[in-house]
Structure 1
Amino acid sequence: MTLALPSASRAQSWTGPVRGSWVLEGARGTGVVIAAPGSASEIIVAANENSAVQQAAVFLAGDIGRITGHAPAIVHAAAGARTRLHLVTLGNGTVPTAIASDVLRGKAESHQILTDGDDIWLVGADARGTAYAAYTLSERIGIDPLYLWTGFTPQKRTTLILRQTNHLVGPPTIRYRGLFHDDEDILPRPFEDAGYPLRIGDVPLEWYARFFETALRLRMNMVAPYARTHRRAEVQQMASDWGLFYTSHHYDILLSNPFGFERYGLARERGAGTSWDWYTNRRGMLDYWRGGVRENALLHAIWPVGLRGAEDRAYDFPANTSPAEQLRVFREAVDSQLAITRALAPADPSPLFTFTLYSEMLARFESGSLSVPPEVILVWPDDNDGVMRGLPTSLGGRKHGVYYHLAYFGPRTKQVTHIVGPATVAREFTRIRDAGATEYALVNVTELRDFVMETRMIADIAWDANRALSPTDPSTRFVKWWSHEYFGAGAAAAESSYADRQRLLGRFDDIWRGSEQVRVALHELHARFNGAPSHALAADTVAMLSRLDREYRAAMSRGTRASLAMTPEARQFFLEHVMLGLLIDWRPTQAALLLDRALREPDARRAW
């Protein structure tokens, strides 16, 4: 819940500008001068503040520097600057009486931003709350939290004045919320001889830093940085030091990296044997999981539990194993995982566990046959296309969460461009909120860049679902807000282009309609040119392609006109975020129609 400042709710309610909305234009008398010619500021952070707060101070100083050209110094005590920005976690320093300590205390991640004379106070109920106060201030003075992916640069100011502010923010709706960048197919380095990224290579630390920074600026508190790639301790250490819980996906039991069982020699290193078999190598599997806990015990971690294969598929029981025996082994394995973690990880805070009801497990749980320890957070899955497969009908005295896909790489690629749109997100997260599955939300964003719009929407919902999802029609409200936030004078036309996009690309399969018919037509042309029987595309297929061609042409024309009113960087983002998705299907659609003309051409020479 957001209180006290009239503009404060806009980030969650999508009713007005957010980025730069606290900058005061004009007279200095009613604001706090963060930067001006001849006037310096400093950021004060106690030496014993949490590393998450220290990192937030580094980002805040850099942000002010990007706006004004002069980054304030970060000091442990006041050093004489005119304006002082204090980052303080309750209990770790003195704060003004106007700080609502009694309101903040005990409420996870709550924070307050308060101006008091020439002082700006960024105070959190805990370290994450303090850090989020800094990230909130950065956006309100002009920094796009998604700048790494949108390319937006802040407005330059020689004088930066903050409005008088008292911004009080309560705890988030979803307690643990974060991003999973599944399927790192283009990220590992070095490249293979064939020119493709080496699958078992390293993803650069620079990329992880960008990924973590984005999560923090969106006030997320959790990341799953790995799927199928080499892991390096400095990556998850960075996440934890910056204030993010390190977790992983459903088959990465106890963060043990089953992908590396053979590939990286982890089974040999951990003395875990050579087979992933509970009946013949139970001790080895337990030792493998112990390795995951030992490597990550001192981090902020959330521990997945369960029983799956060493690859992302169902555990391979021996033939004719009864369902009852499978369920017995599952519970035995999970109980063992909880015991391992409690034996090796610190008891304070108490370890957090999740179990994802993925694939075969959802039906078993819903039938009542699957037993999961009550302290484990149950994570409900979507259908990989942003529609929830299941949600709790009763909380049953336990915590629930969700695993949600904006994209992923699978049998049919669901990356390329964002398809799970705001209308789907609003509908499904309303269901999630109403079901009470609000303890945990892991969002699969694949390589993130193409999915920033809906990622921002989910982040805002995750912090204050009631405000974001009410009143009616939150998706329209969000698209309108987003368009104004990023496209300025072209906002109204951008809204229309987003509507075109949603209408033409409502499912991931829609981006392959044209290319699928190109494949069919090329097959038929190959037959024709080799003297074999061939057929033109079916009449209804040609009619469908012709209709799409007309609709894409009209949508692209509207989008091109819309872009003319935008700044150069807004126009570039609009091209990548809106127009490119349309082109991915439109160009193959046009090609399929041309190939069909060749199939229908009586003269084989002219068909060429």
Structure 2
Amino acid sequence: MKKGFIGLVFLWVTQICCAQFSLRSDQPIKLACDNAEEKVVQTALKLFIRDYQSVFSASAAVDARQGNIIVGTVGKSPLLKAVSADVSALIGKKQAFLLQVLPDGKLLVAGSDSHGTAYGIMELSRLIGVSPWEWWADVTPEKKISFVLPAEYQTLQSPSVEYRGIFINDEDWGLMPWSSQTYEPSDVKGHIGPKTNARIFELLLRLRANTYWPAMHECTLPFFLTEGNRKVAEEYGIFIGSSHCEPMVCSAAGEWRRRGQGDYDYVNNSASVYKFWEDRVKEVAQQGNIYTLGMRGVHDGQMQGAKTVAEQKAVLERVLKDQRGLLQKYVNKDVTTIPQAFIPYKEVLDIYNAGLQVPDDVTLIWCDDNYGYIRHFPTAEERARKGGNGIYYHVSYWGRPHDYLWLGTFSPYLLHQQMKLAYDRGIQKMWVLNVGDIKPAEYQIELFLDMAWNIDEVNEIGVTAHLKSWLEREFGSNCAEELLPAMEAHYQLSYIRKPEFMGNTREEERDPKYKVIKDLPWSEQTISERLRSYTVLSDVVERIESNIPADRQDAYF
């Protein structure tokens, strides 16, 4: 009897010390989180509560003191002091998180900073089966009766690249009219407002991204001129940056005609241009921004007032000095602590190569050739810079000699090869992807941002396994087996020649000769083989469609 009692006690103690974390469909839960946590943490909690209700059909709520899940940021949350977990591995890291099952069966979600805590919460959403594309691609979460993490479960994650995000571009035919006319109807022409941006930022948060370059074509009302956009960026912890022709987070294409006076010319009208920049910096100084330095023309053209490379170099030297002065005056006296970028894109690369000196703490953002091949990798001297190096990369492009905007044709294998090369050669500070309208580049976006988050993991498994895992998550393992070779064939055919290039001439050029449609220089046999290959793909995806679960049919479409 005594021996049996001791055995029961031992079993009871063992179970207490090694309890697993579990969730059930009939079980309301509480998340313990201090009220003083930053807005991005509060936003992530709201998303998880929505996800939990969707998966388990049960309620979830936040409590400031106790809960099944303990959420906190190192150095800020008093809740972390009360748990028997070692969070020292988070100290000194940026945007890192720890998920760990505690001895009492509760789950700890701890972050090194507010971004890390938010990403940790979103990791739990992933674990219970919620796709980052839950809203954008109608990936309805699968209902579950239960979910378990074993007693020994622990994951510690931190980003490979500090600033990771997307650039909305060429939004004229997709995002802007859909937003302003359908999702967020507005009488304001070109309106992309906070409701739309909240959905974009939710996607970024779920993909562990933190950087956004807003849509900037003339047809769109600029981001900072649209009420509510700044507020929603803060709620989702998004750093707002801008492209190569938009210095000081000013959309010159959309804003100069509204706020500027005279010509956008720093040679002959510098006072007006300076005020244009100054007004914006004063307005957004307290917000999380990444300030692009330098100057190009109003929209993707070379600067006015200076013709030769030497003249442009002299203007840019003055521009950099004046812009840094504005940041020092209004944002932080120690200008070296402010995130800044310089982008040697198109003709600006020639000016940089002519000897332009960019301050050491400014991140140099290198570019691809618009078709996926990076034009410059950092030298040893550039790799040693305090500001580090970044990349601006395209999986969608509108311009000469040919655009590709209709389909998700960009090769994930090329993307991986080039971004691995970029990282290995020191481009590790900032990665921004030109995604067009987001759709239909969902997979390329996730691959890019997964590499930016954990490049070693993606390199280890390779693109094929990563793509298969993505297809399994969205459509199930059986469909993924058949879809994988079909997608690989699609990317291969598109790499040989993108469907958008069928005209075999330039899409956008003032010279009339480029508007004449010419035949491709291919043999009848090559054309016939290509048509047969696409017919096979069409048959495969139509056949698989009948096996897709009803709640994933919209996602599959």
Give the TM-score normalised by structure 1.
0.78
Matches of 2:524 and 2:189, distance apart in 1? 43
Aligned to 1:566: 548
Q: How many residues align?
A: 511
3-state DSSP class of the match of 1:177? Answer: strand
Matches of 2:350 and 2:366, distance apart in 1? 11
Paired residues for 1:20-31 under 5 Å: 31=20
How far apart are 1:439 and its partner, in Å? 0.3
Aligned to 1:493: 482
How far apart are 1:108 and its partner, in Å? 0.4
How far apart are 1:362 and its partner, in Å? 1.9
Aligned to 2:48: 60
1:234 aligns with 2:228: yes
Aligned to 2:3: none
Matches of 2:131 and 2:65, distance apart in 1? 29
How far apart are 1:347 and its partner, in Å? 4.8
Aligned to 1:550: 532
Matches of 2:164 and 2:520, distance apart in 1? 48
Paired residues for 1:408-557 under 5 Å: 408-411=397-400, 412-470=402-460, 474-488=462-476, 489-506=478-495, 509-513=498-502, 542-557=524-539
Matches of 1:262 and 1:425, distance apart in 2? 35
Aligned to 1:266: 259
RMSD: 2.8
**CA deviation map 1:345-397 (0-9, x unaligned):** 145892111011100122333x3522211111000001112221111132432
Specify the code of the residue in structure 2 equivalent to 1:107: K
3-state DSSP class of the match of 2:252? Answer: coil
Matches of 1:250 and 1:58, distance apart in 2? 35
Paired residues for 1:199-278 under 5 Å: 200-228=189-217, 229-230=220-221, 231=223, 232-263=226-257, 265-267=258-260, 273-278=261-266
**CA deviation map 1:455-497 (0-9, x unaligned):** 11111111121222136xx122222222322232111210110
Matches of 1:573 and 1:544, distance apart in 2? 33
Matches of 1:69 and 1:347, distance apart in 2? 51
How far apart are 1:509 and its partner, in Å? 3.9
Specify the code of the residue in structure 2 equivalent to 1:63: D
**CA deviation map 1:181-204 (0-9, x unaligned):** 112213335979xxx999942014
1:134 aligns with 2:121: yes
- Cα 1:163–1:408 change in 2 (3 A) is farther
Contact 1:305 1:353 (C-alpha < 8 Å) held by counterparts: yes
Matches of 1:561 and 1:266, distance apart in 2? 55
Aligned to 1:360: 347
Matches of 2:496 and 2:295, distance apart in 1? 32
- Cα 1:425–1:199 change in 2 (3 A) is farther
How far apart are 1:408 and its partner, in Å? 2.9
- Cα 1:514–1:569 change in 2 (3 A) is farther
3-state DSSP class of the match of 1:388? Answer: coil
Aligned to 1:6: none
How far apart are 1:538 and its partner, in Å? 8.9
- Cα 1:508–1:74 change in 2 (3 A) is farther
Contact 1:99 1:112 (C-alpha < 8 Å) held by counterparts: no
How far apart are 1:499 and its partner, in Å? 1.8
1:106 aligns with 2:92: yes
- Which range moved further: 179-188 or 106-115? 179-188
How far apart are 1:560 and its partner, in Å? 2.7
Contact 2:73 2:110 (C-alpha < 8 Å) held by counterparts: yes
- Cα 1:395–1:459 change in 2 (3 A) is farther
3-state DSSP class of the match of 1:202? Answer: coil
Contact 1:142 1:155 (C-alpha < 8 Å) held by counterparts: yes
Contact 1:354 1:376 (C-alpha < 8 Å) held by counterparts: yes
Matches of 1:202 and 1:32, distance apart in 2? 45
**CA deviation map 1:557-596 (0-9, x unaligned):** 233333343323445434x4xxxxxxxxxxxxxxxxxxxx
Contact 2:410 2:494 (C-alpha < 8 Å) held by counterparts: no
How far apart are 1:165 and its partner, in Å? 5.5
3-state DSSP class of the match of 1:372? Answer: coil
Matches of 1:539 and 1:448, distance apart in 2? 33
- Cα 1:515–1:431 change in 2 (3 A) is closer
Matches of 1:562 and 1:163, distance apart in 2? 35
How far apart are 1:296 and its partner, in Å? 1.4
- Cα 1:434–1:507 change in 2 (3 A) is same
Matches of 1:262 and 1:222, distance apart in 2? 24
Provide structure 2 residue ranges, at least 5 long, that are not aligned to the other structure.
Answer: 1-17, 506-516
Identity %: 23
Matches of 1:35 and 1:215, distance apart in 2? 28
- Cα 1:317–1:490 change in 2 (3 A) is same
Matches of 2:194 and 2:438, distance apart in 1? 16
How far apart are 1:288 and its partner, in Å? 0.6
Paired residues for 1:66-77 under 5 Å: 66-77=54-65
Contact 1:391 1:435 (C-alpha < 8 Å) held by counterparts: yes
Matches of 1:492 and 1:221, distance apart in 2? 33
Specify the code of the residue in structure 2 equivalent to 1:73: A
Matches of 1:290 and 1:274, distance apart in 2? 16
Matches of 2:344 and 2:227, distance apart in 1? 28
**CA deviation map 1:145-196 (0-9, x unaligned):** 111233211121344444435433243111111111112213335979xxx9
3-state DSSP class of the match of 1:201? Answer: coil
Aligned to 2:394: 405
Matches of 1:145 and 1:537, distance apart in 2? 42
Give the TM-score normalised by structure 2.
0.85
How far apart are 1:209 and its partner, in Å? 1.1
How far apart are 1:36 and its partner, in Å? 4.3
**CA deviation map 1:273-331 (0-9, x unaligned):** 3221212211111111112212211111100011111222110234xx54323212111
Matches of 2:69 and 2:145, distance apart in 1? 18
Specify the code of the residue in structure 2 equivalent to 1:451: A
Matches of 1:86 and 1:433, distance apart in 2? 35
Matches of 2:518 and 2:90, distance apart in 1? 69
Matches of 1:198 and 1:382, distance apart in 2? 38
Contact 1:417 1:451 (C-alpha < 8 Å) held by counterparts: yes
Matches of 1:112 and 1:475, distance apart in 2? 26
Aligned to 2:355: 369
Specify the code of the residue in structure 1 equivalent to 2:71: L
Contact 2:193 2:227 (C-alpha < 8 Å) held by counterparts: no
3-state DSSP class of the match of 1:216? Answer: helix
Specify the code of the residue in structure 2 equivalent to 1:207: T
How far apart are 1:123 and its partner, in Å? 0.5
- Cα 1:119–1:458 change in 2 (3 A) is same
Aligned to 1:383: 369
- Cα 1:395–1:43 change in 2 (3 A) is farther
Specify the code of the residue in structure 1 equivalent to 2:309: P
How far apart are 1:98 and its partner, in Å? 4.5
Matches of 1:391 and 1:281, distance apart in 2? 35
Aligned to 1:94: 79
Specify the code of the residue in structure 2 equivalent to 1:91: G
